[in-house]
Amino acid sequence: MPGLSDWIEQLVAESTGKNQIGRLPVVAESSQHGLEGDAFTIAFAGSADLVVEGDLASQFIVWEWVTALVGAALAIDPFNQPNVTEAKEQTSALLNEWKGVLPTFTGNASVGAVEIFGTGSNPTEALSQLISEIPADGYIAVMAYLDRKDDVAIAELREILASKSGRPVTFGWGPRFLHSTGQFHKGGQQNGVFLQITGDVKKDISIPGQNFGFKTLVAAQALGDGKALASRKYPLLRFNCTNRAMGISELLKAAKAL
């Protein structure tokens, strides 16, 4: 059932990830693809720790009940999203500060088509440092503010990092994930390390009634969420691809070299 796993991820992560507790689903192609560490595997067919079979309507009912019951067990309100608003406020603040013009940012280092905003003189070194900061029970969140059609190859990074780190790795397309795992990142268990991937945009698209375009808006969403994570002292690394195709290829190569 294409898309069902993404819906469950949003339902469970956004509903339970608050008050420094919650449950974080890791969407994977199969139970053998990059589910490292102590992940409890769930599948719709085949073999896993738990197999949940049923048609689409049945899955909707089951997972809505599961979310409500987990919320009750954790003593949290599954119907609010306090930290989603926080990211929006950070975004608005940056847009007001920039006055419609996206500033130029300079990374701590630049190698090939990849700019590094964080520790490390090259992508492999930066990734190694990020992995070293994962708590014993922690996870890596990969947040790609890229085009999920043209830049789809970057999704391979999740499985590579899971294999290299030995820990669960989530992958989210930005800004979509802000309304799913984004709530968990800031409000859930405090055991994540975070990797943002952005890319230069050749052509901007204007937004009617605004003094900025989508290029500036998406940049503000990425950096605004980054500020929200940094305010919690969470390990955070950002790569910016000055050429998307080349940058993605270089990042995958760097991850494989870990």
The sheet carrying 114-117 orders its strands as 109-111, 114-117, 236-241, 192-199, 139-144, 169-173
**41 or 23, which is more confident?**
23
Q: Say what angle helices 244-256 and 123-132 make with each other, to 10 degrees.
A: 50
| Domain end point (choices 25, 49, 74) | 74
In angstroms, the CA 169 to CA 25 distance is 10
Query: Which of these three, 57, 74, 91, is where a domain ends?
Result: 74
Question: Nearest CA to 237 among 91, 149, 114, 98?
Answer: 114
131 and 159 share one domain: yes
Higher pLDDT, 201 or 2: 201
Q: Are residues 104 and 205 in the same domain?
A: yes
Please check whether residues 52 and 134 belong to one and the same domain: no
Please give the pLDDT value at position 81: 84
pLDDT value of position 35: 59
Say how far apart CA 64 and CA 213 lie, in whole Å: 37
Provide the 8-state DSSP code for 206. Answer: B
Q: Are residues 88 and 209 in the same domain?
A: yes
Total tally of structural domains belonging to the chain: 2
Q: At what angle do helices 214-230 and 82-98 cross, to 10 degrees?
A: 120
- The answer on 118 and 65 residing in a single domain is no
Burial status of residue 85 (CB atoms within 10 A of its CB: 0-12, 13-18, 19 or more): exposed
Residues 9 and 125 both lie in one domain: no
- Mean of pLDDT over the chain: 93
Condensed to tens digits (0 to 9), the pLDDT of residues 73-97 reads 999 999 988 888 888 999 999 999 9
Q: Are residues 237 and 113 in the same domain?
A: yes
- Of the three residues 22, 52, 74, the one that is the final residue of a domain is 74
Copy the structure tokens of residue 247.
């940058």
Position 143 scores a pLDDT of 98
Instruction: Give me the residue label for tokens 């055991």.
Output: 191
Query: pLDDT of 48-67, one tens digit each?
Result: 888 999 999 999 999 999 99
pLDDT of 31: 56
Amino acid identity, position 198: T
pLDDT of residue 102: 94
Cis peptide before 2 (omega within 30 of 0): no
Same domain, 62 and 163: no
Write out the two tokens for 6: 């993404």
pLDDT at 48: 84
Nearest to 141 by CA among 113, 104, 180, 114: 180
18, 22, 16, 10: which is closest to 176 by C-alpha?
10
Asked whether residue 199 falls in the same domain as residue 220, the answer is: yes
Helix axis angle, 56-74 to 4-16, nearest 10°: 20
CATH assignment of the domain containing 236: 3.40.50.10490
Are residues 216 and 170 located together in one domain of the fold? yes
Tell me how far CA of residue 178 lies from CA of 114, 125, 189, in angstroms.
24, 27, 16
Domain that holds residue 157: 82-256
- Copy the structure tokens of residue 55: 């048609």
Tell me the two tokens of residue 193.
């390390």
Compute the distance between CA of residue 250 and CA of residue 41 in angstroms, rounded to an integer: 31
**Pair 14, 137 in one domain:** no
The tens digit of pLDDT for each residue in 132-189 reads 999 999 999 999 999 999 999 999 999 999 999 999 999 999 999 998 899 999 999 9
Of 33-47, 61-75, 76-90, 94-108, minimum mean pLDDT range = 33-47
d(CA 102, CA 211): 11
Query: Is the domain of 41 the same as that of 100?
Result: no
Cα dihedral sign for 214, 126, 237, 256?
positive
